[in-house]
Amino acid sequence: MKTMLTLKRFILLSVLITVTTEIIQAQKVSYTFNETLRLGDPEEFDENYIFQSPNHITVGNNGEIFVSDRSRNNIKLYNSDGEFVRQIGSRGRGPGEFIEISSMYIDPSQNHLMVVDRMNLRVVRFQMNGEYIKTHNLPEGPVISPWMGRADDNGFHYLLYRIPVMPDEPGPSEDHLIHIYDSEFSEVVYSLGDVSRFGDTSEYIIDKSLGGPNTGLFELLPGQRLIGAPHFYDGQIYLYKKSQSGWTIDAELEGEQPWGEVAQEVDASDPPGYAVRMGTPRGAIAFLKFSTTIGLHLVDENTLAHYVHFQDESHENGEVGVSLFDLSDGRFLGYTKIQELSRDHMEPKSTGWDIQIKYSVGNTIYFVDNRYKEPHIVVAEIEIIVE
């Protein structure tokens, strides 16, 4: 029997790819990818289709495509056919302006575009046509920095914050990293995600200037569930479920961890070229990272794909792979390697991918293609068949 699943995020290296490989339990996995739209063709020479550092993509119910550019601090809006509509915002602190866009998402309860500006500590609300509505200011504090946002059908907003600056300092709402706000961001109605579960709080990876390392990724799931994956991946991701008493961990999902440690400190005075170096309250430090989360998505209602960038302690060998989980019972379905990583992919700031998946809906994915002088935005249809 063949079971067809829809793959929402996958590394894409050509216009059409079909790969068959073995995963745990002798299942065969076949991936197929077909490009349907590309923005940023160098032959167009149109400023509206040129991107410098596109970092987020989100899509409206009518197929509107929103692309944020970190270097330009603005958002470009395209219709479902890829035709440019308008630019939204610019750099600044005024209404509808941004200092650093750290996330974009749609509020399904009101069909609004929400833009998280972590440096301005606020969330900016727009109509789907790009017209500014209002700004929701977030409470100031020494450790908060909104990193990722989502909203549910009831109008509640979920913000993921970065790890606290100091190990002995609490994060916002004590030691939790995901905070659920009401529709107007007037109060935090619940907090979840213990710091120790979402990232390594060891002193050596705390960067005061950055407000702490990335915390990882999370996604809302059907049935009032949430999945959280640490940035420094140690083989576990966490499934939360809402009950009458609040949000609690429903399962700790054990995935693949083929190589290395989560992170390892090295001599900061003479670190290897592939080490991450930073300043901390105890001085300059350097560390190596080996396994990092780079993607989460639902294949279907009860199947999760978790993407990880692995590398060994020599930083000469690595791979990008995906683990599949059955969310109905927390079962690990299997792991498959997607791409061998070369030495060029081992740089600390590299995702390990030539392609960066940014958004998915149904069997359609939206990604940044970095294989050109200027990045391209590509829309593609993809499916996965498990036999």
- Provide the domain limits for residue 210: 3-386
Residue 363 backbone phi and psi in degrees, to 5: -100, 20
Which pLDDT tens digit goes with each residue over 43-84? Answer: 666 889 999 999 999 999 999 999 999 889 999 999 999 999
Which pLDDT tens digit goes with each residue over 326-348? Answer: 899 998 888 877 777 765 654 44
pLDDT at 285: 67
CATH number of the domain enclosing 360: 2.120.10.30
pLDDT at 139: 74
Count of CB atoms situated within 10 Å of the CB of 41: 13
All residue ranges of the chain with pLDDT < 70 are 1-32, 42-45, 140-144, 163-175, 195-214, 258-263, 272-285, 287-289, 312-315, 342-355, 384-387
**351 to 14, 30, 160, 308, 364: CA distances (angstroms):** 18, 24, 20, 9, 21
Count of CB atoms situated within 10 Å of the CB of 340: 10
Entry pTM: 0.80
Are 107 and 114 in contact by the 8 Å Cβ rule? The answer is yes
Angle subtended at Cα 373 by Cα 295 and Cα 37, rounded to the nearest 5 degrees: 60
Alpha helices for the chain (secondary structure H): 195-198
pLDDT at 231: 78
pLDDT at 67: 98
Q: How far apart are CA 52 and CA 364, in angstroms?
A: 24
Say what the alpha-carbon torsion angle 68, 72, 74, 77 is, to the nearest 10 degrees: -60
| Residue owning tokens 């994915």 | 365
Q: Is 145 exposed, middle or buried (0-12, 13-18, 19+ CB in 10 A)?
A: buried
pLDDT at 140: 63
Are 265 and 271 in contact by the 8 Å Cβ rule? The answer is no
pLDDT at 200: 47
Nearest to 362 by CA among 39, 6, 22: 6
326 three-class SS: strand
Are 257 and 234 in contact by the 8 Å Cβ rule? The answer is yes
pLDDT at 307: 82
pLDDT at 212: 43
Say what the alpha-carbon torsion angle 257, 308, 304, 77 is, to the nearest 10 degrees: 170
Tokens encoding 9 = 């995020």
Number of structural domains in the chain: 1
pLDDT at 205: 42
Strand residues in 128-235 grouped as ranges (E): 132-137, 146-151, 157-161, 176-181, 188-194, 216-221, 225-230
Query: Which helix H or strand E contains 250, and what residues bound it?
Result: strand 246-254
**What is the identity of the amino acid at 250?**
D
pLDDT at 134: 97
- Chain-centre distance of CA 308, in angstroms? 12
Strand pairing report for 236-243 and 246-254: antiparallel
